[in-house]
Structure 1
């Protein structure tokens, strides 16, 4: 069994290496379209991700619009959503023609992106539930978004009420209890029981704990300052 996994991993690395070679040699060659499309499907099945390859494919679609696969483009956008907080979704959307964006599946993905960017997780999960066929076609989607939601909460809260966490990651009841046990054991979370219910104490960082914030001047490299000064002068 271990040998089979090792062979599969080697095959995935070989595919990635081949695609990287294709992009490096001639990224505007339409002959590599099938290889890039196959690679998108490989990313979906293996739960890997390559923004560069996906952007290259979207650029080729601009030159070969009749060869565009809406399903492949949808997979690319879902994978880009899973990469948040990176701005990958906007980068990909910029390369997709407006007429294509008006298709129902893409309008839905744009709405989902907006909900995530604005931290409206309850609306996001409601909309995602109405479009399971779209998001569940890409394994790992739910877990990736839950990770993003936790990232957002960690930037905002030192302590997060259990109800807020449940809404953000779309887990409740015994499943949430199990999730919390894992986070407490592995991520430094602390469960605090108060009069109005449970609070989860999140690990400190420079965003949710001002004392940890670095001095702004110290965080700006000197070479950046020397470039700005002549402009201001």
Structure 2
């Protein structure tokens, strides 16, 4: 089954949720919860919201779905520490789908790379929920494979330098279409005076 494997198909999951709308007596809340977990793993895609819209409100009021909605909110707002704390309390929900933790770590790194050029080690550790030797190994892997570099920070410890992209390294772009020729401006001065 797509839900419990490492594969993911939004279309298949949406079809199943639509089927449950027409035949609510056949709905398995366990499968619906797994579909939502898989949708969380697809962040930053809007899959979670798309799936949630097809789930009846009475079902969304169940505790496991409330938890998943809170987890989604934490991810969407970049509150990774709160996300990991809540996920730890809800292991029975999120561990039902293989690869959950790695998918969320990938999303957190994506968000950080849009925001930071240099990120303090503790901020990265909190966002991806890895510390100590595991974090050291993770950083070694990223330095070797993803273009990250490490530099010593000032008082706060090590800084991780992320590869530049259009979001974390903005450039001022001058557009010829947006500029007004000087002669047009000089024509306005007599009118203003």
Contact 1:206 1:214 in 2 (8 A): no
- Report the structure, 1 or 2, having the larger helix content: 1
Query: Using CA pairs below 8 Å that are at least 6 residues apart, which structure has the higher relative contact order?
Result: 2
Matched, 1:64 2:23: yes
1:83-232 to structure 2, matched below 5 A, reads: 83-196=42-155, 197-211=157-171
Distance 1:57 1:159, change over 3 A: same
1:8 corresponds to: none
The CA RMSD measured in Å over matched residues stands at 1.6
Residues of 2 paired with 1:210 and 1:129: CA distance?
Answer: 36
Write the mapping of 1:5-44 to structure 2, written as runs, cut at 5 A: 41-44=1-4
Distance 2:27 2:57 in 1: 14
Runs of 4+ that moved beyond 4 A: 213-218
How far is the alpha carbon of 1:44 from its aligned partner? 1.8
Q: Distance in 1 between matches of 2:48 and 2:3?
A: 16
Distance 1:194 1:142 in 2: 28
Q: 8 Å contact 1:149–1:168 — kept in the other structure?
A: yes
Question: Normalising by the residue count of structure 1, what TM-score does the alignment of the two structures yield?
Answer: 0.73
How high is the TM-score relative to the length of structure 2? 0.88
1:81-107 CA-partner distances (Å, limit 9, x unpaired): 000000000000000000000000000
Unaligned runs of 5+ residues in structure 2 are 178-193
Tell me the distance in 1 between the aligned counterparts of 2:80 and 2:143. Answer: 23
CA distance in 2, matches of 1:71, 1:217: 57
- Give 3-state SS (helix, strand or coil) of 1:210's partner: coil
SS in structure 1 at match of 2:137: helix
| Residues 217/164 of structure 1: CA separation in 2 closer, same or farther (3 Å cut) | farther
- Distance in 2 (alpha carbons) for counterparts of 1:58 and 1:122: 31
Q: Give the total of aligned pairs.
A: 176
CA pair 193-71 structure 1, distance change in 2 beyond 3 A: same
The CA deviation at 1:186 is: 0.1
User: Cα distance, 1:43 vs. partner?
Assistant: 3.9
Q: Distance in 1 between matches of 2:174 and 2:119?
A: 27
